[in-house]
Amino acid sequence: MQEIPWEGDENQCVPYKSNGEEDIEKDYEYQRENFYKLVERGSIAIDGILELAKEGEHPRAYEVAGQLIKNVAEVTEKLGDLQEKMKRLKEVPDTGPKSVTNALFVGSTAELQKMIKEK
């Protein structure tokens, strides 16, 4: 395989064109996938450290198990936060008026003037 020489600065920034919605969706999926992997691996690690703690009955093993449980709980919480952020991001803000009331008069200008004088 032939190596292609680089003709630029090693630290040069490469321009990146963002796709907006598509990038947000990709980042969300990537982060969500990583959170799931972390929770799964953390659960496996918890099972292992609890087994070690039972066998050795060493206080440090139980301390590590507690920390692992806390870390897995935090990652699970972050997964929930991610869901909420995406939900808010996808919601379209409804800033327009809820209902529009137009006062409408059907008639001639003479009838309108007569009605105004009566009031």
User: What is the Rg, in whole angstroms, of the alpha carbon atoms belonging to the chain?
Assistant: 32
Distance between CA atoms of 114 and 69, rounded to whole angstroms? 80
Which structural domain, as residue segments, surrounds residue 67? 21-92
pLDDT of 17 reads: 67
In angstroms, rounded to a whole number, what is the distance separating the alpha carbons of residues 18 and 78? 25
Q: 16 lies in a domain?
A: no
* 83: in domain: yes
Q: Measure the CA–CA gap between 18 and 7, rounded to whole angstroms.
A: 25
Residue 98 forms part of a structural domain:
no
How many domains in the chain?
Answer: 1
Is residue 77 a part of any domain in this protein?
Answer: yes
What per-residue confidence (pLDDT) applies to 119?
77
Tell me, yes or no, whether 72 lies in a domain: yes
Tokens coding 31: 């982060």
What pLDDT, in 10s, does the model give residues 28-47?
A: 999 999 999 999 999 999 99
Residue 1 predicted with pLDDT over 60:
no
Residue 115 and residue 112: Cα distance in Å, rounded? Answer: 5
pLDDT of residue 78: 95
Higher-pLDDT residue of 53 and 15 is 53
Q: What is the CATH number of the domain that holds 79?
A: 1.10.287.1060
